[in-house]
Structure 1
Amino acid sequence: MDAHIKKVYVPMTETGFYILLSLRKEMHGYSIVQQVEEMTGGEVRLSPGTMYGSLSKMEKDGLIAFVREEEKRKIYQITELGIEVLEREMKRIERLYRNMKEAVS
């Protein structure tokens, strides 16, 4: 993982985290918005501008890839680099959670 990717994506924003988490299977933007809202019980709602700006940047940086177009919708999926970034972030969140639990016990 190069320095640019680390600087931009570690730690990740909630938006970036949920996009990569969703794109472990192929999806288009609107289905990502719906999935994130469902996963978070409506606490995280991605606006179209945020969503499509993030998709564009992540595709440019190689974290996700365009797979195909269906009914004028672009379908994306996470790449190997995206998986590496997501796994690093999940470990960071697990560490934060573990440290929080230890501190309040």
Structure 2
Amino acid sequence: MTYTGNPMTEAMYYILLALMNPNHGYQLMAAIDQVSNGRIKMGPGTLYGVLTRLQKDGLIVILNDDGRRKTYVITEAGKVALRAEYKRLKDMVQDGILVEEI
């Protein structure tokens, strides 16, 4: 399965953003908290479910698995998808400028 380019969930976006530096699960939860400026508190259930999906979509890979924990990293395809999602979100915000006229 590969990523189809559909809009990402908030969890997908922040996990990919946090994986610009390789991380394992617990570090990843802290990194998501940091890159979201504390807005996103992701629990292990959500995190590991999305990590599995991102792996299936080819957006991340396991960099290291020592048996106790897995270290994940974003792939080139993941970076392309993340940039596309970032652009989509920026465009949405720009389109929302109409709200200021209300």
TM-score range, shorter chain: 0.7 to 0.9
Amino-acid identity (%): 35
2:3 to 5, 18, 33: 5
Runs (4+) off by over 6 Å: none
Pairwise CA RMSD of aligned residues?
Answer: 2.0
TM-score, scaled to structure 2: 0.86
2: CA distance between counterparts of 1:16 and 1:35?
14
Aligned to 1:72: 68
**DSSP 3-state at the match of 2:3:** helix
Between Structure 1 and Structure 2, which shows a larger proportion of helix residues?
1
Residues 1-105 of structure 1: matches in 2 within 5 Å? 5-6=3-4, 10-70=6-66, 72-105=68-101
**DSSP 3-state at the match of 2:38:** coil
Q: CA deviation at 1:42?
A: 2.7
Q: Mark the runs of 5 or more structure 2 residues left unpaired by the alignment.
A: none
Deviations 1:23-76 (A, max 9, x none): 111111111111111232332111101101111111122110000135721001
